[in-house]
Amino acid sequence: MKKQYFVQHPDPSILNDFSLPKDMFQSVEVGIRDMEPDFLFTLAQNMFAFPVFFALDFVMIEHVEKIIMERNMPFYRFDSDGFIVKIDSVDTLAVICESTVELASNGMRIFIFFGEGLSEADLVPTKKWGGPTEFRNLDFGKVETFIDVQEVGLTVFTKNEKYNTPRKVTHCISEDYALDLMSSDLES
Q: What is the mean pLDDT of each run of 10 residues along the chain (188 residues)?
A: 92 81 90 94 96 82 80 83 89 94 90 95 83 90 95 94 94 95 83
Report the predicted TM-score, pTM, of the whole model to 2 decimal places: 0.92
For the chain, count helices (H), then strands (E). 5, 11
CA dist 134 to 80, 100, 128, Å?
18, 20, 8
- 119 contact partners, CB below 8 Å, separation of at least 6: none
| pLDDT at res. 23 | 84
- 69 contact partners, CB below 8 Å, separation of at least 6: none
CB neighbour burial string for 119-148, b if at least 16 within 10 angstroms, e if fewer: ebebbbbeeeeeeebebeebeeeebbbbbb
- 44 contact partners, CB below 8 Å, separation of at least 6: 52, 93, 97, 112
Separation between Cα atoms, residue 134 and residue 138, nearest integer Å? 9
Contact 78, 119 (CB under 8 A): no
| pLDDT at res. 46 | 96
Q: CB atoms < 10 A from the CB of 106, how many?
A: 11
Q: CB atoms < 10 A from the CB of 174, how many?
A: 17
